[in-house]
Structure 1
Amino acid sequence: MVSSCKLTRCISCTVIDGIKQWRAEGLPLTTPSDEACKMFDATVTQIAKTCEDPTVGGTGTTLQKMLEADPNFVLGLALKNHLSRKKSFNDAKYAAELDQLVALAEKQNVTSREKLHVQAIKLQAEGEGMKACQVWERILVDHPHDILALRFAYMSYLVSGQSAQIRDTVCRVLPQWNISHPLYGYLLGLYAFGLEETNLFDQAEKTAKKALELNRQDSWATHSMTHVMESMGRTREGETFLSATESDWAPLSHVTYHLYWHWSLYNIEEGNFENALSVFDSKIASHLKNSGSWFTMTDATSILYRLEFEGVNVGDRWKTIYDFCVGHPWEHTWAFEDAHLLIGCSRGKDQEKCKQVMNSLKDFAEHGQGDMKRLTSVSIPLLEAIQCYEAEDYAGAIDILLPIRYNIIQIGGSHAQRDVFNLLLLHAAIKSKEPVHHKIARSLLMERRQLKEKSPMVDRLLEKVQAAISAES
């Protein structure tokens, strides 16, 4: 049994009886094991902090110890299932495990809160992420300190592009927290990102700063700050900020390599392409090889695609991404990933794989289920536009993208992540041979200028477009 740990928030390590402490928190756990409570707490704490804590062995170790202490711990099993949910919707074994979990919850007569968690986990595993969010929100009405329900809803809103809900799910519970709670600062970090995604930049920056004053190693608050600076065009300041705080956020964070992605974006915006490639090579490409992370694949793809938009020769760097794309199963659990998967196969010059990706997605549109099936009305045309661009059919890409550009938010990710598709449209318009498309490019750049006044990228591209328009006059 763990007698102590160095986590800021580890309820069960503050007393001998973890069961009683969780009950006192108003979040009773149905398990006879104090050790299971402690390891559950340690796991949830790391999730809340967006980190892996070596003092307890990381989330893999705490999950394992939790279920060793109580193999029938319902909420613990629900947590484990959720963290391993990157499964095909048609995975019969996984579905059977969830059915067994539901039956176990009924047999044990667990609390209504725990039953709702199990219900939400099952819904999300079936692809019904938004219905799962409704259940997590129901939990938060009665249990605003249930950080697990909050984090699960929050991340589901993020992968479905629900910007206002990213903000408001925290908004609704924040007044019922206070600074005495060990995780309060991390809640502010979550809130700051929601504020940024809804264009409340000043408020987002103040909130992120407050979170970092409480916890300088809060990588999600750091992430929120990088978004503020990117959105406002404060890229040089962003580079300085990341450089000055790297020792705080780089070790053991779940978003470390995504923060390096932001660092690359700053360099691309400023035209420092060699610096962007250096970050890609030293941080992101190596992590993709070692981790097998789909999230890192999207970051890596995005960097190289943006650099090629700028005319940069990236050499053979696409091979790492292509090897990943063809070596992992295509599960269509996140439309944002599907788009980057197609780009990776396209840049790998594998037309057969590209056809397989499109056919797989169209088959999913017919036979799949849940939110992602409904979203194929946006994701399929987006992928078709990517194919047009890759085939140098720039007019075709424009014809597809212009009508859906304001619907692409539904594929999820942040505004900064989805901006690669704004750039796809913009560069298709620049490369098109039709004069009207050059004027569309100019209009898009004027729009971009209004939203981000300080943008070296806009300066570069406007010069190119104006030269094309002048030559046609």
Structure 2
Amino acid sequence: MLENRDGYWITTHSTQTIDAIHRFTDQSLGYGRMAKPAILDAIAADPTCALAHAYAAAYYLAQENAVTWQQAKPHLHIANSLADQTTEREKRYIQAINAWAVGDIHRAIALHESITEQFPRDLMAVQQGQYHYFYLGDRQGLLNIAEKVLSANGDQPYLYGMVAFGLEQCHRLPEAERMAYRAIEITHCDPWAHHAIAHVLETQRRTDAGILWMEQFAETWERCNTMLYTHNYWHLALFYLAKGDMQTVLDLYDQRVWGWACKASPKDQVGAIALLLRLELQGVEVGDRWIHLCPYLFARIHEHALPFQDLHYVYALAKAGHGDRAREMLTSMQVHALTIPPQLQSAWTELAIPAARGLLAHAREDWQIAMAELKPVLSRLWAIGGSHAQRNLFNQIYQDAAAKIEAYPALRTAS
């Protein structure tokens, strides 16, 4: 066994594996584009390192698509076969990734929480715990898992950005801004801290400040993975949208949000869909962009990684003229909801599926049904995950349907 830089044992005799795991950790916490080659280097240096295989499995699971889920399986199999020979920290981490792989998200969270209690400098456990809390809509959990280890990580810039985002999601905006600034004081190139302040400035409607803030850091995002690169530019586009500069928003979509995207990435797809839809809600003609986007979404129809993402796919399929595929996806969502752990079912059956019906109605300009389906669930959509800024889209769709009915009294019903 060898110690890592935080003083925790890793079951390997390869210093090259330790070095590569450190690179992987830095890349993951900083949303760098070199995380995958780093962890594959770790495995190449020691194919019997269980933790390296577990990290690889987690990397592939986080890509949220069927192809990478399959790529995760052999790494998880190897990690499990070696787990008996590992440390307690490594065992718990492997168990957490196993739970994630079978959809037992609450168990995964519990394991990450237990790791951070005993090993507070394990920021990979913190980050992955935050990931799960985020998509359960548990903003307090998102904050707590990071905030509780601050005292043990005063030298870790990435943790400050993680805490800052949790504070923002809990509506503690001044504290979030101060915490993000602490991250940037340690390292200028912390894209998650940039992102946290973007959320603060957008919530406070400080549009010009948001543009200045994001543009001063934009060149540092070149080293990011496509998810955060495109997402930070998405936030910049929202500031320009609020300013009414629609041409700049279209340019950012074409050149950064979708133009730079990994076209097969669900997160990149969701960002593009959300920006196109916001443009249309502002009356902007987006041309054939829906049509060019849509072929990349067919693979999503039966995956159902996250209900938050599925709502975007359903709408985009309908907008691109594939109403039949959108309805197929809605049916598939209903089937999927019957196959998942009971504690996750309500987010699908009570929230995502009615919302999907409302979105399909809006896409086909059936404003009355759109309102009827969306109104009962809007206040509870936090439970499907996503940030305040992202979920605000569903409120905008509802308000658009209401405005259409107001503008066209004949569309009203007796109800």
Structure-2 separation of matches of 1:237 and 1:383: 35
Distance change >3 Å, CA 87–CA 318, structure 1 → 2: closer
Structure-2 separation of matches of 1:162 and 1:293: 24
CA contact (8 A) 2:57 2:71 kept: no
| CA RMSD across the alignment | 2.3
**Aligned partner of residue 338 in structure 2, secondary structure:** helix
Distance change >3 Å, CA 146–CA 313, structure 1 → 2: same
Unaligned runs of 5+ in 1: 1-18, 53-57, 439-473
Q: TM-score, normalised by structure 1?
A: 0.81
Cα deviation 1:217-263 (Å, max 9, x = unaligned): 11000000100000110111101111222223343355111111011
Cα deviation 1:425-457 (Å, max 9, x = unaligned): 11111111576999xxxxxxxxxxxxxxxxxxx
Cα deviation 1:377-405 (Å, max 9, x = unaligned): 21101101101112222122212222111
Distance change >3 Å, CA 134–CA 436, structure 1 → 2: farther
Match of 1:167 among 143, 146, 149: 143
Task: Specify the alignment match of 1:234 in structure 2.
Answer: 206
Distance change >3 Å, CA 115–CA 407, structure 1 → 2: same
Structure-2 separation of matches of 1:87 and 1:397: 29
Task: Specify the alignment match of 2:46 in structure 1.
Answer: 70
Unaligned runs of 5+ in 2: none
Q: Give 1:374 shift.
A: 4.1
Task: Specify the alignment match of 1:105 in structure 2.
Answer: 83
Structure number with larger C-alpha Rg:
1
The question of 1:156 aligning with 2:132 is answered yes
Structure-1 separation of matches of 2:410 and 2:380: 23
Match of 1:414 among 364, 387, 407: 387
Matches within 5 A, 1:8-407: 20-22=2-4, 25-52=6-33, 58-85=34-61, 86=64, 88=66, 98-106=76-84, 109-178=85-154, 181=155, 184-253=156-225, 254-288=227-261, 290-328=262-300, 330-369=302-341, 372-377=344-349, 378-407=351-380
CA contact (8 A) 2:54 2:75 kept: no
Structure-2 separation of matches of 1:416 and 1:318: 22
Taking every aligned residue pair, what percent have the same amino acid on both sides?
26
CA contact (8 A) 1:113 1:139 kept: yes
Structure-1 separation of matches of 2:40 and 2:223: 23
Q: Give 1:176 shift.
A: 2.1
CA contact (8 A) 2:36 2:56 kept: no
Distance change >3 Å, CA 88–CA 286, structure 1 → 2: closer
Distance change >3 Å, CA 258–CA 430, structure 1 → 2: same
**Aligned partner of residue 32 in structure 1, secondary structure:** coil
Structure-2 separation of matches of 1:214 and 1:174: 15
Q: Give 1:40 shift.
A: 1.0
Single out whichever of 264-273 and 320-329 deviates more from structure 2: 320-329
CA contact (8 A) 1:129 1:371 kept: no
Cα deviation 1:36-78 (Å, max 9, x = unaligned): 11111111111112223xxxxx222222211111111111110
CA contact (8 A) 2:300 2:313 kept: no
CA contact (8 A) 1:126 1:369 kept: no
CA contact (8 A) 2:273 2:316 kept: yes
Structure-2 separation of matches of 1:302 and 1:187: 28
Q: Give 1:366 shift.
A: 2.0
CA contact (8 A) 2:30 2:224 kept: no
